[in-house]
Homo-oligomer: A and B are copies of this chain.
Amino acid sequence: MPKVTEEHRLARREQIVAAARTCMNEQGFHKTTMADVIRESRLSAGAVYGYFKSKEEIVAAIAEDALGTVDELFERLLATDAPLTPLAALEATIDHVVLVAQRPGGDVTRIAVQAWAESLRNEEIRGIAKGKYRKLRDHFLVIARRAQADGTLDRDVDPECVAQVMFSMIPGFVLQRLLIGDITPATYKAGLRALLR
């Protein structure tokens, strides 16, 4: 019964990723080892290594889970025929970030911030972060191009430059939410509406 087997595989994989998130939220990203994840998952070492060869592979899976839903978000945003503005895309993205952060299993944005630091010391984590963030920024690039086609953004500017600034809103929001704590989607979106064209 291949369908059951596939479901079983996915559930096991999710069990391991959830265990890793718990460990990373409790004891920190850097300190978490494969042994910790195995213990927390209540699976055997052989079972865990059957899914993930290293902590880095688990980190990639956590990032994939967190950012995977972003693809659908941007698909939805681009599906409209009405003129699309960078502002509308950013407002939707900020709401989405908070939804993802509040999902059960611990705030994944806390793991992201730790992954940024780890990226400076671990080439493999840096490669994962770079790949995922380039992909996220490419979504903003598509939005910028669409806005240029729709006439809601100056056509003379390199859309890559616009994507760099749009991307910044995400780590900027996440960091203030975690470190300062007095920021909400409502306050941030009010600021965006006042500042952006």
Contact = CB atoms under 8 A, between A and B. Distances in A.
Interface residues of A, number: 54
Given A187-B160, A188-B164, A180 B130 contact: yes
Interface string A183-197: 100011011111111
Given A117-B113, A119-B179, A167 B172 contact: yes
A175 to B, nearest CB: 5
B171 A175 contact: yes
Interface string A104-121: 000000100110111111
Contacts of A79: none
Nearest to A129: B179
A193 to B, nearest CB: 7
Contact of A120 (B114, B154, B194): B114
B179 A116 contact: yes
Contacts of A175: 116, 168, 171
A116 B29 CA distance: 13
A161 B110 CA distance: 23
11 contacts: A117-B118, A157-B193, A157-B194, A158-B190, A163-B191, A165-B191, A167-B172, A168-B171, A168-B172, A172-B172, A195-B197
Given A28-B30, A133-B179, A164-B191, 7 more contacts: A29-B117, A117-B118, A157-B190, A161-B190, A161-B191, A165-B192, A171-B175
